[in-house]
Chain A
Amino acid sequence: MDNEFFDLAKHALDYGLNLGAEEIEIYAVKGFSRTVQLEKTAISRFSETSGSGIGVRIFKNKAVGMSSTTIFTKENIEKTVKNAFSLSKISQPDPKFQSLPSDDRPIPDIDDLYDEAVENLSVEEFTDLMLQSVEEGKIEKDVIIGGNYGLGKLERIILNSQGIERWCKSTSISGYLSVKIEKEEDIGVAYYYDSSNTLKQFDYIKIGKEAGIRAKKMLGAKKIETKTLPIFLDPESTYGTLSSIVSQGVNAFNVINKTSFFIDKIGDKIATEKLTIIDDPFYPGGINSAKFDDEGVVPKEKTVLVKDGILQTYVTDSYTAPLVGLENTGHASRGTFSSRPVPSVYALQIKEGETSKDSLLEELKEGIFLLGSSIHPSGDSPTISSQINQGFYVKDGEIVHPVKNAVIGGNIYELLNSITYFSKETENRKGHIAPWMLIENLKVSGGK
């Protein structure tokens, strides 16, 4: 642990209490990231940047004030606390605010969230991993490959006046490569991304290889006619689609603000009975795994969100839990050190079905196959109007050609009830687990 940084956070807490804060929370992150940039199949840049900041939340008469900074002098930290305190004085009391959380449970051990090998990887060693993957991406002569590989370390400290005192560290290593193949007027372009907490689980080779294979598949894209068609999704598309819908719907902050897709639906059928989804914060080596949430609360080991199509619960943090009448599930999450926490899911496990993925495709008379291309709702609206970024036209069980300039339309309620099959095979990407999925009859608008 960086003791000096911890002491600075502790000083901020004490300083705030001395100022007259009734409750105070310090959220501090300290870290760095290193990236290697690739342009036109050659290394173009190495970077090392800091990723540190301190956020302060202060409550006075149930009114909140927040302030944050990236400047870590003692003087500036005190100014930041003062800013939060003075904002709390002009802020409006929120009678629904109860208290910052307390939690004296020990934090669990989760394997593979931090890896010394990642922190100590030299820029040359890291570049070597990337270049090996770039070689794999050279699926044809004259391909153009771009992208970046990044690694980082982050220490997270959360202190509050209710006695929360948490610290953890984690590492991450990730890669993104895009491969472009040009053949006369035709362009095939695709990317692949992967990330991990540890070096041993980082499949750096696959990134270039998969991007290359996908780019080749994207050659010969054609426009299609507007039609109602079944959609067959690979695990990445299944995960992206269902997580975007379900995480919006189960978020207790959206529930209290009446924008959740699933208001008053606990115990109700929201989807096909084939759908079961579990949220797992403690998955070893999971890219979203965490020992405690962004308020320092240890989450429940596993939360069943949807069982056999029936909504089981919402995910909450300290503020929203009493407002939806549930216990705090430990799902507080912040976009950055300066944002307020709101609930968010960790890593979803979508239950497999009984049919093989190959037979689902073979039996598809006509439809669209989505590869790493999700169907999203439009923000908080349940309307779906989602562009196909990487999709293929399927006829008589065969992939015929990639499609371009097409949009899938509908709404999320229809979509959830039109899922007809999940495959028995699943893909597990560091705790994100999903099968292939078939959805019946969505409107596909085409440019032909």
Chain B
Amino acid sequence: MIMLDKLSTIINKVELSSKDFLDIRYAQSESETFSVRNGRFDTISNRTSGGIAIRALVDNAWGFTTTVSLETEDILKSVKKAISMARIASKYAKEERRISDKWVFEGKGATEIKIDPRELDKELKLEKIKIIEKSAREFSDNIAQASSTYQEMHKIEYIVNNKGTNVENEYHVIRLMKDVVARRGEKMQSVFDSIGGTGGWELLESWDPEEEGRKSAEQAEKLLDTRSPPSGKMNVIMDESLVGVFIHEAFGHAAEADGVFAKNSVLEGKIGEKIGVEGISVYDDPTIPKLRGSFVFDSEGTKSEKRTIVEKGVLKEYFQTLETATMMEMKPNGAGRAQDFNSIPIPRMANTYVDSGDLSLEEIAEMTKEGVYLKNSYGGYVHPTKGQFYFTCQYGYIIENGEIGELFGNVGMSGMTLEVLNNAYGISKNWKPAFLGTCGKGGQWVPVTGGGPNIGVSNLVVGGK
């Protein structure tokens, strides 16, 4: 509270016209990373980061400064600098930019934490990764590299602005990862998986470390003996984790309002238009407890809420910040996330997923006839302006005569944003937020998840040999 009062006092000292905008955000985080690789401790570190970010929107342009000093005098100096930078920038501004007075948020939010890992013995955390790594490494001589990483991060943000927002937001994220590489000569295959989310140690308890290490090693070794992946345009069934990355890359980024506003998205001007088959609905929901992408307030102080991006094939909503919502005459939906005090809040996804349908995986395979069934995503990227995206999987199966058959190793895929949602031909009833990731945009990394049911999509390009 002392910090919030301090920031409020400072903001009240600054004279600005009522049409201008100023916010001050203090962000502090503390994190721990332990990682063991091939029997050696790779990283055993903790990190504290803290500082103040100041944004001023004056006469249609922004000034942004940061400072690591918490002295009132230094903060005031940075505020003045942000305002003066905005004033200089405004000389070059060509169109209106402002933030509405309509949206003011107050309150305190925190993601739930049951067993606080800060109160646990560090040895307990180290033990978990040591068992996973050892169990994987000792599984077979073909395991070239076994590693396991534990991460926890605790972040607190205080946000005040000259419209009256006054928010304290606390956030805890935890993750346990395993990464196993099997190798025989020039053939190498890796298997990666993780668990965790927003919360505490309780989120890691479902993994039996020994079993998890062994499972990944077994899978990686099995992939050494597989055929090479196929190539060309084909029908693809994606598992829940691939659907997560697919919808994030193929669609989510193009629905971020900064890109739309800057005319860098193929989804510009398409709200209300049908962009996919009727069975497709896409949501993004930071309010689901425990998920890795969840939070209570965003870094502008806006309360988070569930967003309906696509409903029954029709584009409904973009990911908004205060500025983009004002300029597009829409409402902000809590998507303004900043990595740390040195970063500016920009529209980001949280937990993005496709709604379930009514088929079984077997039924979709039958509809597919010939194609591939792809599993476990690694990640991907997109060019939202071109509407061309790319994503990868760890392994997959050939589908022949409607049956899931032979296994193959990792491969990448390419598709076009405005085509894929129209090419979905089968959506399953099972549903999982299966992909735990960290999304990069403009040099900022934030935790996200993606997921959904199994989906069959025609005409994706699979890039095998």
Contacts and interface: CB of A to CB of B under 8 A. Distances in A.
A385 B410 contact: yes
A279 B180 CA distance: 31
A40 B65 CA distance: 23
The 3 closest A-B pairs by CB, nearest first: A407-B463, A385-B412, A66-B45
B383 interface: yes
B43 to A, nearest CB: 6
Contacts of B229: 385, 409
5 contacts: A48-B64, A48-B65, A49-B342, A405-B415, A406-B461
B9 interface: no
Q: In the complex, which range does the number of interface residues on chain A fall in? A: 35 or more
B194 interface: no
A110 interface: no
A51 B67 CA distance: 10
A110 B412 CA distance: 42
A46 B46 contact: no
Interface in A68-110: 68-72, 76, 80, 83-84, 87-88, 90-92, 94, 96
B465 A410 contact: yes
Given A43-B93, A259-B181, A340 B385 contact: no
A407 B263 contact: no
A66 B45 CA distance: 4
A46 B415 CA distance: 36
Contacts, number: 251
Nearest to B87: A46
B interface: dominant SS: strand
B146 to A, nearest CB: 10
Given A45-B89, A47-B344, A131-B92, A67 B45 contact: yes
Contact of B465 (A70, A92, A443): A443
Interface residues of B, number: 79
Interface in A421-448: 443, 445-448
Contact of A180 (B41, B263, B413): B263
Interface in B234-273: 261-264, 266
A312 interface: no
A257 B137 CA distance: 11
Interface stretch (B111-119, B162-170, B183-191, B278-286): B183-191
A378 B40 contact: no
Contact of B43 (A48, A340, A410): A340
A389 B38 CA distance: 36
A123 B88 contact: yes
Nearest to B40: A94
B95 A42 contact: yes
B140 interface: no
Given A44-B61, A67-B47, A407-B412, A382 B186 contact: yes
Interface in A181-202: 187, 189
A72 B44 contact: no
Interface string A352-381: 000000000000000000000000001111
Interface in A17-64: 36-37, 39-53, 63-64
A386 interface: yes
A180 B232 contact: no
B410 A381 contact: yes
A222 B44 CA distance: 50
Most A CB contacts (10 A, CB to CB) among B81, B229, B459, B464 go to B464
Given A96-B40, A407-B414, A445 B462 contact: yes
Nearest to A124: B88
A132 to B, nearest CB: 13
Contacts of A52: 68
B64 A49 contact: yes
Contacts of A257: 37-38, 144-145
Given A40-B261, A49-B66, 11 more contacts: A47-B65, A90-B44, A187-B386, A221-B386, A258-B38, A259-B145, A381-B190, A407-B390, A409-B463, A410-B465, A413-B186
B411 A48 contact: no
A329 B404 CA distance: 50
B461 A407 contact: yes
Given A46-B63, A80-B48, A146 B342 contact: no
B177 interface: no
Contacts of A63: 41
B126 interface: yes
Contacts of A226: 231-233
Contact of B188 (A69, A123, A146, A382): A382
B386 A189 contact: yes
Contact of B85 (A42, A46, A339): A46
A238 interface: no
B264 A146 contact: yes
Contacts of B88: 46, 123-124
Contacts of B383: 189, 389
Given A45-B62, A127-B92, A187 B232 contact: no
